[in-house]
Amino acid sequence: MTVEQIVSEGKDQFPIGMRVLAVDDDPTCLLLLGTLLRRCQYHVTTTSQAKTALKMLRENKNKFDLVISDVHMPDMDGFKLLEHVGLEMDLPVIMLSANGDTKLVMKGITHGACDYLLKPVRIEELQNIWQHVVRRKKKDRCNSGSKDKPHPDSGEAAGIGNVDNNGKLNKKRKDQNEDEDDERDENGHDNEDPSAQKKPRVVWSVELHRKFVAAVNQLGIDKAVPKKILELMNVEKLTRENVASHLQKFRLYLKRISCVANQQANMAAALGTADSAYLRMGSLNGLGNFHTLAGSDQLHNAAFRSFPPSGVLGRLNTPAGLGIRSLPSPGTIQLGHVQNSGNPTNDLSKLQSFVPGNHNTNILQGMPMSLELDRLQHNKSVGHIGELPTTDSTTVFPGSGSLVDARITGFSNNPLLGVTSNSLMLEGSSQQATSHTSVSAIGFQNGNALSDFTSIAPASNQLQDSKADSQGQASPINCNAGQIIRSAPQEWNAPRKDAPYQSHALINSSIPINSAMIQLGQCLDRNNSIFHRTTDLDSVGPLNFVDPLSIKHSEGDNYIMEPSVIEKEGYLMFQPRPHGSHVPDNTGSLKDLASAMMKQEDDFGCNGYSLRTSI
């Protein structure tokens, strides 16, 4: 609220300069009111139309501190205006009326007015109205304060992804994601991550990544220098170094994305979101996470993180990680590469290679994937990855169609989307290699390192919910992706716990996904998260291909680069079985899926990310 600003600017200034909006259809009264208020040294704006007043309030919610309105107005009832203001802007409103009937006064108060003044209003009464503003601000502060609390975990969770079992990681991730879910937009989350984390490492949560991307976009990718980005982002405890390394990864990711083409644009978008997803992915532990990463920003992160070395990839070491590794690059791209080989199987192996140990915890940085991958590794899903390729994508997500749609573009939104498509792809894609590609792309999203995700992810902030990751990025990563995805999702999904990897492994072999992957990644990111989560990957085990389609990718479609793509690819990512939380299949929004996935990922615990299983 503005008061806060005012207060912070100069405590002794307030209430001087308090911005009041006065509404009264009677010109005489309005003139009087305005003059009185000015005499009190407030900053006054007057209007005789309630509709105009609302318009003014809506166009800039921070423009006013207080509203004073007459009850009796021809174009809109004062009480109605009162309600609107209260609901939309949450500003204190004072009612004015010539009629002092108790009933009316009561009505005013019950409708939420902070005060009810009688006309003719006197200056003494107006001199004290600022108290309402202060009171409300205080109340808001209290409310928001408590909200920020939940985040503390997130930071840690993310970082931890790499560690321990998927279970743990997932759990943390889950917490983190939950928090994130709750307030995805909360800055607190971002802020808390770095601060709450025990480790000095910065966890690039979806939110944080989103901010990062926004800052980069604002500056222009060419002109984006860490210092400026840092300033724009305005996140506490974030250092220039953090931003610099993240930027580096981001750049790589972008490069990869551009290779992928088409989706590029999407990717960019996704990147923004993906990053967050990306981050998430990291936390996702395990493949499942990747999905989320993919879907949501996380993927980006993962992607950006360029998985490989940076944390995510580190995790990738595990076969699962490998898959992700490939992602590291602009996200799916890596996978893409992997996939390019076309054969999922091949890819998988490749993926595995990626993973080499990057374990950088950094993975968490943005690459939740790595976490997942690690998990995957732990889970032994690693092995699966290779297998994935073969898995028919069919298994993947029946619903993966959505994945495709999820197109990573925004994966963030639909983790599932990405995934879903992938999954779909997987399912059918296996047959259709081509389609797989999309899946693969998607698959990646799931958190797999699918680099695609990164691209996709941006958008998928939502996906981030690790759901996307969980989506198991089924990324078509042509096999590899699948693997990775699995891991990814887990990781990203982090909270999911072990991101059972989420099956994203989708990649089921058939998916040529390579290209698709990227797309998928994109979509996947979004979807991925969704995918993974949502569907019980049933398929086999970790790799449960989450029914991407079920994942309501549609929701997140925003980012999805082309969800459709993803879907096709079927996210190979198997959705880690959403244990427990089985991702609500396509239950509505991907977000749900994503969250579900996230949860699931935890559940999945990526046991051996059996991507292959799903495959």
What is the binding site for another protein (CB under 8 A)?
25-29, 31-32, 35-36, 39, 70, 72, 97-99, 119-120, 122-123
| Cβ-contact 328, 313 below 8 angstroms | yes
Indicate the residue among 28 and 146 with the shorter CB distance to another protein: 28
Give the number of other Cβ atoms within 10 Å of residue 14's Cβ. Answer: 21
Indicate the residue among 98 and 142 with the shorter CB distance to another protein: 98
**Residue 95 Cβ vs another protein, minimum distance, rounded to whole Å:** 13
Indicate the residue among 77 and 185 with the shorter CB distance to another protein: 77
**Residue 21 Cβ vs another protein, minimum distance, rounded to whole Å:** 19
What is the CA angle 401-455-174, rounded to 5?
75
Give the number of other Cβ atoms within 10 Å of residue 211's Cβ. Answer: 24
What is the CA angle 518-443-362, rounded to 5?
85
109-114: long-range pairs with CB below 8 Å, 24+: 111/79, 111/82, 111/83, 111/86, 112/82, 112/83, 112/86, 113/82
The whole-angstrom separation of Cα 297 and Cα 300 is: 5
Q: Which residues of 305-340 are buried (b: 16+ CB within 10 A; e: fewer)?
A: bbbbbbbbbbbbbbbbbbbbbbbbbbbbbbbbbbbb
Pairing of strands 115-118, 66-70: unpaired
**Residue 102 Cβ vs another protein, minimum distance, rounded to whole Å:** 15
**Residue 14 Cβ vs another protein, minimum distance, rounded to whole Å:** 22
**Residue 25 Cβ vs another protein, minimum distance, rounded to whole Å:** 8
What is the CA angle 211-213-219, rounded to 5?
105
The whole-angstrom separation of Cα 139 and Cα 294 is: 38
Nearest residue to 353 via CA among 310, 330, 319: 319
Which runs of E-coded beta strand occur in 508-609?
none
Indicate the residue among 115 and 585 with the shorter CB distance to another protein: 115
Indicate the residue among 6 and 29 with the shorter CB distance to another protein: 29
Question: What DSSP letter does each residue of 237-296 carry, written as one string?
Answer: T--HHHHHHHHHHHHHHHHHHHHH-SHHHHHHHHHHHHHHHHHHHHHTEEHHHHHHHHHS
**Residue 19 Cβ vs another protein, minimum distance, rounded to whole Å:** 19
| Cβ-contact 467, 530 below 8 angstroms | yes
The whole-angstrom separation of Cα 608 and Cα 491 is: 13
Nearest residue to 450 via CA among 508, 494, 417, 408: 408
Indicate the residue among 119 and 497 with the shorter CB distance to another protein: 119
Q: What is the largest CA-CA distance in the chain?
A: 83
**Residue 150 Cβ vs another protein, minimum distance, rounded to whole Å:** 49
Q: Tell me the Ramachandran region of residue 198: left when phi exceeds 0, alpha when psi lies from -120 to 50, beta otherwise.
A: alpha
**Residue 554 Cβ vs another protein, minimum distance, rounded to whole Å:** 49
**Residue 93 Cβ vs another protein, minimum distance, rounded to whole Å:** 18
Indicate the residue among 121 and 488 with the shorter CB distance to another protein: 121
Which residues 6+ apart lie within 8 Å of 28 measured at CB?
Answer: none
Indicate the residue among 77 and 148 with the shorter CB distance to another protein: 77
Indicate the residue among 126 and 233 with the shorter CB distance to another protein: 126
**Residue 81 Cβ vs another protein, minimum distance, rounded to whole Å:** 16
Indicate the residue among 106 and 221 with the shorter CB distance to another protein: 106
Q: Which residues of 478-490 are buried (b: 16+ CB within 10 A; e: fewer)?
A: bbbbbbbbbbbbb
| Cβ-contact 417, 557 below 8 angstroms | yes
Indicate the residue among 71 and 449 with the shorter CB distance to another protein: 71
Indicate the residue among 100 and 200 with the shorter CB distance to another protein: 100
Indicate the residue among 22 and 169 with the shorter CB distance to another protein: 22
**Residue 265 Cβ vs another protein, minimum distance, rounded to whole Å:** 56
Indicate the residue among 107 and 237 with the shorter CB distance to another protein: 107
Indicate the residue among 122 and 139 with the shorter CB distance to another protein: 122
| Cβ-contact 452, 403 below 8 angstroms | no
Q: ω before 120 within 30° of 0 (cis)?
A: yes
| Cβ-contact 538, 531 below 8 angstroms | no
Q: What would the two tokens of residue 72 be?
A: 């009796």
Indicate the residue among 25 and 469 with the shorter CB distance to another protein: 25
**Residue 126 Cβ vs another protein, minimum distance, rounded to whole Å:** 11
In residues, how long is the chain?
Answer: 615
**Residue 73 Cβ vs another protein, minimum distance, rounded to whole Å:** 9
CB-count burial class (<10 Å; 0-12, 13-18, 19+) for 77: middle
Q: Which residues of 150-178 are buried (b: 16+ CB within 10 A; e: fewer)?
A: bbbbbbbbbbbbbbbbbbbbbbbbbbbbb
Which residues 6+ apart lie within 8 Å of 12 measured at CB?
Answer: none
- Which three-class secondary structure state does DSSP give residue 116? strand
